[in-house]
Chains A and B, each alone.
Chain A
């Protein structure tokens, strides 16, 4: 389905060129874990750090795609997508905790360490089933999807749009953060989950696990890109754009706007959840900090920097902002927040169509 990669009908910058750049980028990414296997003194050797950080960025890029689908196309600016990402991460984190088994500090056969510490006698009911990988992955999609469904239904039905929706979603992730900080929620409180041992029989923290997770993320990225571009290029995509620009007019054409928005919001949340599920095994930790409103809004700015309403733009933004972040936090950590804040200001004022807008003429 490479023919349906969503690129806005670009004027100056050929559709063909963009596609070639994209294919080139994917190929380079795909080569990274292989280059990592080369001897360390080889000129082409890629460090473990590069592989793991790029793997992380790929999951960020998937999150950016999800945000772009909702914001760039349907005009739903969610400031709570980090919550869906984190919920997906928690789902896989629960699976990883279950896999630790008796190897925890307390050596309890079933209970994770923090539960032993907090005096749990048995697993809470909502932990059941998470010892199965497929169940955990399913939950990583369903829980964010369900949450998005409920919140979206309530919000879209009462026609809460624009900044009101943004604030509501921000309040949502804030509330979840507060809730997950509590020990009695059964999700490890402050510390969340960490010290994972293995996934699918594969010890984490080996280069084999790293490259497997890397390729899984890359595959998910391509899958998400394909799915999003399918939506974007279908008539549904045009309905979403129409909703974004003139919501009430769409109603007078007989479209049930609530259902369309709900569909794309839930889809977007599920993609974000899956991204979170691939993120957590790669970074080895998930804690309530992932719910912080700042995370969500930072992800939104990736999309804004790259160019919303174009899927390629979301990817470009996620990679470039995170590359900048990694570089700046090493050379001048104090400057990063200034730079990030500056990005918010500069992009909204001077680059409303993002980096991609520099290359193409016609906005969508």
Chain B
């Protein structure tokens, strides 16, 4: 066995054509008997009727959809997010198999870490000839700036993933290692577990499936232990590229589970070679970062070619030992399949052990003697990029035409170091639930390991990816797709006996930084508040307008409809100076409600709301998020023409949804700083709406005008007005109610007063930065309501601007951090 891993095809009989049965059947053995560890489950799934199957499939997809709406950013906003599919029948792993595979994976993460530590250090492996120097030299994933760095915590590789296929002879065999920033799928494992364990509770209990909770506890502890303690618990953050990333939902889920704040590069800053999180209270020192950003996006300063995002100075901070990065920059180098054929030799010489897990026959084509032999029988292989540079790869050589094959061979001869050939394998097959019944489908098992100081740990489970076609597994799409849970059954005492994955929320309060809101999140929530209010205002105003248009409002209808249109023109719903043609009114209103392209309309505002909410995703409750998704559904209509009645129905629904959101905000959100900024955003916006309505009313002339009815209706204050005044509305009493009244939740004075009462609870020392100015500004605004003279049009305009100035002051003081406050 040992010799077969030498990097030389002539001596190698890896798992190529040796074994007799072409495909391993996971559930049934060669005699047609159900394998022992499948018996509890197979007796169940084989008895499913057509109805059972349909109902299980429906429940599974409903649960995933629920998770999807909770954790996926809406596809319109995120672009890449889409619910993945789950096959509810898990892949079962027997205890004996697990013992072997987990030991093999533990050895592998240890081995790869040793390799990385040497290659980024003394490079003895190259001197000893255990790895060809060109393998390192030609790889763009090998980072020059990581050379010579002693990573805090001691490991280049902290977490890794490994794709395994079962060969025809029954051995789990390594297909690919994942050692970079994102061994994707670890978050998805938990979601799959939640769904599958709930769908098959009896089998889950009967098989004594190993629980996953312990692994994540360990991971949390280990990540915190990477950074040296500065007398308190280490502050660790979870760094994501942002909500546009296809795996964002997974990042959010995982960050919540670990209890680490989910941050983006813009949330971090380096001062004096130390890494800080920008929070509302100032800059908070960060000791460790779970990196889910590719190496090229970490630090623009170290990224030779122009541009590139990231945190300037972060690498310097890492280099000087002020922060731990997991995985370390450059660890992704070991993901190259080109390294695989050299690992057995290194394992033997350096660890003094034989490598435990076999690997799918793999060759790096830069070695002349290897290349010659591989090219002679190219049809047996899948061609892979050695370092991820070629958009045409991977490629199944068996499917190449003779001329295409010749062309590829020429390309390989020209740049042999760019290519890897890996045997075209047929994975084992496991039962999979499909619409027409249970089918045998090929599976690849992605397992995960952790390089803890006390020794490596392997997740007892993982993510099984299901192939839907006969394609070689190397050609399966890299992300999501069809997946299933992996159950490691346990016939002995359960060593991982712990309740299964706890609700992610359970950990939230354990982290010291959890209470501190990152500035960016506060800013996003501030704008969520502003947009939610702006949508509500637009909805109310349009609803009133439509009522007059559809003739439900009786007398003075035309005058009041004209007034409504004047009110609309006075807001940001339409562009300044826009003309609404009388015969086009319904069309204009319809566009404001449904047209995705109309700037300022409700779909536009909803999009802006969702964009901000998406970026603050991990701070919003699942219910709030579902509500936002529903909101988008309401305004999304495929129809071109809508009747007034239809539009009114839509607006009624919207008003109810928006009321539900305000209710949620009022009743369910804790009064933290996140809530405070959302609330202040909402109040500023409501003031602005009131002021713009009043200004239009004043500009339309004094006295009893038809504009006051729709104005009161928009402000939801008709009843109050009627209770106080038994006459047709006139300007002064309307001002009393909509401008001066500190008890009317729709009045301008009320909004300013709320902000004033929240002010003492604003974060930060009261005398620092712009805070005194902010306080003074809002006090001055509040003073205005002591003076009983109704404002004229000009003053209303000034008050409007003054609110915007206030909004800017908050931005400068809390969100942009140009002045440093370290704590």
A binds B: no
- What is the interface of chain B, defined by CB distance below 8 A to chain A? none
